[in-house]
Structure 1
């Protein structure tokens, strides 16, 4: 492949940064503003995920609403007793995430991460605080507030791909990605134990929604007033830190997303395929992990909370370690690094599912459940890192497509579970686990062979693409000369 020579680009970029006047504060945060941005963004993403998870846990301790209903309707059937209606409550959040994503991606460049993620925080807060009231009103109102929670998480995947590109220096990009993606794990670590404690306390399950809703309001106010879409616009970013962040990066001018070239890129297609199976496996455990632990492995409510949180805690630790190693292991290529993470994540998830399917021993099943979730966290370091390297400034679209698939799976998973596990018997869960394990393995098999760390031609500027085409034409002429 022909390379575009640009040896002086970094020096020119630093000179331009120094020449453009910027308003800076006297408080420069010891040249670590980017780390404060990282922590604040992680907290907000975690709270969005926490709010979306609340129903996954409280579904095992909401029997009081059925008892209250039958006090006035002896022969009636509450929606909570109907498995199909309950599955729709799970799925309605995915509908919100899907529609929110379809609207947000085309306008991301115009409104930016700051405005759109804050709007997501508003939707998530409303859906969470209003949920206990909606349960007292109508079934339709429950679907609406779950839909709002879905709108809240619609940009989580997109932010994971976009924030490291804007705020992380090149040698910290894997660490930023690993830390931000820990939102999927830290949300479970926080939500499940706290929910288990509150469910069995005198405050009851309704207090869970109020507590998390209030924290969401507080941190999103902080996010709106502290976050900026570009380090250059942040008053607490020094020139030294800005130079560090901008080094070895292409100019950040806005470009039209090359949708079709990305969609036909074999590397991107294989990565998307891998995420279909991976998200099916991971999201099934996220959505129905508490139900599986409670109904099949027979954990108590509070024990279910801690047992659900443990694998996500291990997953966050493994992912953080992988991010550090990925940034520091310069003796192997970027492709080798993300391929190893992808293989461990997918193969471990598939093996964990098959182990759960083939055992009736509670201890072995719990170990397999924990192992599956713990290693699946490395997937972000594999697939999303691959897309960052391949798509560069257009990574938000490539990652948003993964989110789109995830919300479709999140909508379909409850339907699949209601069909295959209507009675929550161990035999039914084993059959479903075996099928999912095979799907994860098959969809992930092409990933190590067809991916690359080389940036695609569509990441070049128009001038560079024209120069590349000209150079290729000259090579062809030389071949025939």
Structure 2
């Protein structure tokens, strides 16, 4: 059944009169696939953060055949993923929009999974250089995934359900971190050893490709099994799809202080999360002297707290906005401040806690993860406030720029921490990270906005500032 062209621009009020389709429909199946996609990709991203400790520590596994190495460039290895990650986000968004997402996403996941599986082999035959090569390729393939998922949600998530479907999809990233960080240490200390962790998560990725090719679709109109009622409901409710033909106002975007406020906030968040993800397992091992199995579970704990914090903070934020207790812009600034200032304080305090108070250090790390979730309903969603029509482009630009700092932070940690068992050097790392959190949030609070910007609208074409 073909959907009339006028249905794509129908008002949201008129949509309520259309059949809504099944309570659990194909749009939910697609969302579950996105959730699993992000779960597996983030598992493959995070596994090295814990495994690298076992890769460079003799006797971690009872199996004497499990290889170990002595690398003095661990931070370079950990940062190499982001060398590729920032390069293809915008090209992927543009190519996926023009050529379709389904096959491109399958190719990205296939590449990512195969190179994850190849890391133990490359480590044995090419050392850290081989692992760096694999991680760069993984970064290139994974960098395509967020804009492609955003593209798919734009076709499958009705406005009335977008918060639920979108949040569930992207929560896969948090679950992926939890999965990898909580199990990798256990696997590494077992008889199968650290190589099996890469085989396991890479295998999950290959399994997902099969599910995606069978059940995935670019849009409701290209899905072979969706009912007419659900298809009409989804496509007619997405009135903003009509705005996708609007040329991108590149100059106004790049001149917009509210846009740069979000980007600067992302820079601070990426810096902090990169330190938390890539360096904390080493800190737990070398300073707090937790065994590898404990390291793995403790490294996952901040992400469990983040998942719970995201649920709590997003609910409170929506109540404050919907009941008009505070403005949307004020809400974004408050929750961004919660998600940056308090983690900054906890990280700075972490550097001054002595080794014999290790449980307190662990508690601060967990609190840091939980409170940082405030940013998810702060700057993280602020693109949609500024420009619903160009939110995908804004996110692509922000991610590309801020991802560069995920490369820089581990390298600076390696420069500062020349002796991994030196607590004073780690103190400098935590103070620096806290200062960056605070400085970037101050910029955000001063220049951020919760209002739709003038360059969001078609009328901007008349000013001559909009370009194809």
Summarize the alignment of residues 146-157 of structure 1 with structure 2, pairs less than 5 Å apart. 146-157=135-146
CA distance in 2, matches of 1:314, 1:12: 36
Q: TM-score, normalised by structure 2?
A: 0.85
Q: Which has the larger radius of gyration?
A: 1
CA distance in 1, matches of 2:452, 2:96: 22
Q: TM-score, normalised by structure 1?
A: 0.82
Comparing 352-361 with 163-172, greater Cα deviation is found at 163-172
- Give the equivalent residue in structure 2 for 1:204: 193
Change (3 A) 1:175 1:323: farther
CA distance in 2, matches of 1:255, 1:36: 30
- Give the equivalent residue in structure 2 for 1:434: 431
Aligned: 1:55 with 2:48: yes
Give the unaligned 5+ runs of structure 2: 1-7, 464-468
- Give the equivalent residue in structure 1 for 2:77: 89
Aligned: 1:455 with 2:452: yes
CA distance in 2, matches of 1:13, 1:118: 37
CA distance in 2, matches of 1:83, 1:143: 13
User: How big is each residue's C-alpha offset from its partner over 1:223-254, in whole Å with a ceiling of 9 and x where there is no partner?
Assistant: 24433333444342553564367537323343
- Give the equivalent residue in structure 2 for 1:411: 407
Secondary structure of the structure 1 residue equivalent to 2:450: coil
User: Is residue 160–residue 181 contact of structure 1 (8 Å, CA) maintained in 2?
Assistant: no
Aligned length: 443
Change (3 A) 1:322 1:118: farther
Secondary structure of the structure 2 residue equivalent to 1:445: helix
User: How big is each residue's C-alpha offset from its partner over 1:33-59, in whole Å with a ceiling of 9 and x where there is no partner?
Assistant: 322222210110121111111211111
Summarize the alignment of residues 315-330 of structure 1 with structure 2, pairs less than 5 Å apart. 315-326=306-317, 330=322
CA distance in 2, matches of 1:58, 1:12: 49
- Give the equivalent residue in structure 1 for 2:4: none
From 267, 274, 280, the counterpart of 1:289: 280
Comparing 361-370 with 53-62, greater Cα deviation is found at 361-370
User: Is residue 309–residue 371 contact of structure 2 (8 Å, CA) maintained in 1?
Assistant: yes
User: Is residue 177–residue 323 contact of structure 1 (8 Å, CA) maintained in 2?
Assistant: no
Aligned: 1:420 with 2:416: yes
- Give the equivalent residue in structure 1 for 2:297: 306
Summarize the alignment of residues 27-46 of structure 1 with structure 2, pairs less than 5 Å apart. 30-46=23-39
CA deviation after TM superposition for structure 1 residue 426, in Å = 1.1
CA deviation after TM superposition for structure 1 residue 280, in Å = 0.5
CA distance in 2, matches of 1:376, 1:45: 20
CA distance in 2, matches of 1:50, 1:280: 19
- Give the equivalent residue in structure 2 for 1:277: 268
CA distance in 2, matches of 1:394, 1:55: 35
Give the unaligned 5+ runs of structure 1: 1-7, 19-27, 72-77, 470-481
Change (3 A) 1:240 1:327: farther
Change (3 A) 1:137 1:154: same
CA deviation after TM superposition for structure 1 residue 215, in Å = 1.0
Comparing 277-286 with 373-382, greater Cα deviation is found at 373-382
Summarize the alignment of residues 174-189 of structure 1 with structure 2, pairs less than 5 Å apart. 174-189=163-178
Summarize the alignment of residues 48-447 of structure 1 with structure 2, pairs less than 5 Å apart. 48-63=41-56, 80-84=69-73, 86-101=74-89, 103-139=91-127, 140-159=129-148, 161-234=150-223, 235-236=225-226, 238-240=228-230, 242-243=232-233, 246-247=236-237, 249-252=239-242, 253-326=244-317, 330-332=322-324, 333-360=327-354, 361-424=357-420, 425-447=422-444
Change (3 A) 1:152 1:49: farther
Change (3 A) 1:254 1:13: farther
CA distance in 2, matches of 1:420, 1:14: 60
User: Is residue 58–residue 199 contact of structure 1 (8 Å, CA) maintained in 2?
Assistant: yes
Change (3 A) 1:394 1:227: farther
User: How big is each residue's C-alpha offset from its partner over 1:368-401, in whole Å with a ceiling of 9 and x where there is no partner?
Assistant: 1111122223323212311022122322221122
User: How big is each residue's C-alpha offset from its partner over 1:248-286, in whole Å with a ceiling of 9 and x where there is no partner?
Assistant: 732334343222221211111111111111211111101
